[in-house]
Structure 1
Amino acid sequence: MGLDFKQIFTAGMILFAVIDILGSIPIIIDLRKKVGHIQSEKASIVAAILMVVFLFVGEEILKLIGIDVNSFAVAGAFIIFFLAIEMILGIQLYKDDAPETAAIVPLAFPLIAGAGTMTTILSLKSEFETINIIVAIVANVIVVYAVLKSSKKLERIFGNQGITVIRKIFGVILLAIAVKLFATNVTNIL
């Protein structure tokens, strides 16, 4: 019991793969172009709060509203699927009439702390100590904050062509994650 570096590292790496903040760089850059400014601190803090709260009460909230974890994961798969389609085809499905900020939606939720992340947190809860999961969440939020804060620099480094290529590649990866999330959880629903 207590802090365990191995558990923290494993949980952290799993969350890092699911959050996929590096793969979200093209989305972040697009959002910054649409809204002008990304509130990195606000998005990171809200995502961290969502993840920690969900760690403690997520399953109970889902049960309360009559949704099982598998249905929640399938819904998350659809959101990820549509984000991937936008990235691959270069179209815009999500339209906000007058977006003022991209801090909470779609950055904190569903991009960082989305259904895939929430489902993963519930899975980790059955394997790891709660304190270790919290440390892993905080570590990931620090990485997320660093990427959000440096999105302008990353755009300059990669350039427009590089961003387009990365966007397509990660769009396909996101599509694969959506299909896997859907396939894994839809069989449990049926």
Structure 2
Amino acid sequence: MEFIFSAVVTLILIMDPFGNIPLFITSLKKVSPERRRFVLLRELAIATIIMVTFLFAGGKALDLLGIKQYSMGISGGIILFIMSLKLVFNSLEDETTKTNPKDEEPFIVPLAIPLIAGPATLSMLLIFSATPGGNLWKILIALLIASMINSAILLLSFPISNMLGKRGLIAVERLTGMLLVLMSVNMVMNGIAEFMKSYNL
């Protein structure tokens, strides 16, 4: 149970639903209000399917490529660190101005990938699968719970944005970034420790 709770919290932080709110609002701005919920649910479902597929098949693919688990931990930590620095130092106002929504509905990119099922999330799923006390079914339960919480927050994107305002969203974003910095450093150090252990260093 402790593993599942820890995995849920970690996945929610990495998925960063509050940080994604402005990007989702911008991407859906030109979609008719009556279709926004449908489009959002479709993208969330696609992202969940991608993450579940990667959870069960990603490890085997890495084995075929000869990629070691400690390499995944270190690279995942680096990706997470870069992402967390972006959350800490870039304001959401800047992010929304960089996004240029097209007239048509977004499909898979950029909502499902990489905003939800991004490289940091996929890397974390593989790291969980190699963590003592974790197995695929526990990780699957954690992933589904985290996806439901993420979905609930993003489905309320427009009301939450109005309630918190830009400053409130920026504060939540930067707090999330600080937590992810600590997690990313821990992931890199664990990966280095596993590397040294594997070579008896």
TM-score over 0.5 for the alignment?
A: yes
Distance 1:112 1:142 in 2: 18
Identity across the alignment (%): 17
The alpha carbon displacement at 1:163 in A equals 1.2
Change (3 A) 1:119 1:104: same
**Cross-structure match for 1:148:** 154
Equivalence map 1:58-73=2 (5 Å): 58-73=58-73
Moved more, 33-42 or 62-71: 33-42
Deviation at 1:76, TM superposition (A): 1.7
Distance 2:56 2:161 in 1: 37
Corresponding residue of 1:189: 195
Equivalent residue for 2:4, pick from 12, 17, 20: 12
Normalising by the residue count of structure 2, what TM-score does the alignment of the two structures yield? Answer: 0.71
What CA deviation, in whole Å up to 9, does each residue of 1:2-25 have, x standing for no partner?
xxxxxxx44431221211259813
Q: Tell me by how many angstroms 1:103 deviates.
A: 2.1
| Residue in 1 that maps onto 2:54 | 54
Bigger-Rg structure (1/2): 2
Q: Deviations over 1:86-141 (max 9, x none)?
A: 12111679x88878543222223227833123311343xx6356545433332222
Report the TM-score when normalising by structure 1: 0.75
Q: CA deviation at 1:45?
A: 2.3
Q: Which consecutive residues of structure 1, in runs of 5 or more, have no partner in the other structure?
A: 1-8
Cα offset for 1:52? 2.8
Which ranges of structure 2 fall in alignment gaps of 5 or more residues?
Answer: 30-35, 197-201
Which residue number in structure 1 is paired with residue 75 of structure 2? Answer: 75
Paired residue total: 179
Give the aligned partner of residue 181 of structure 2.
175
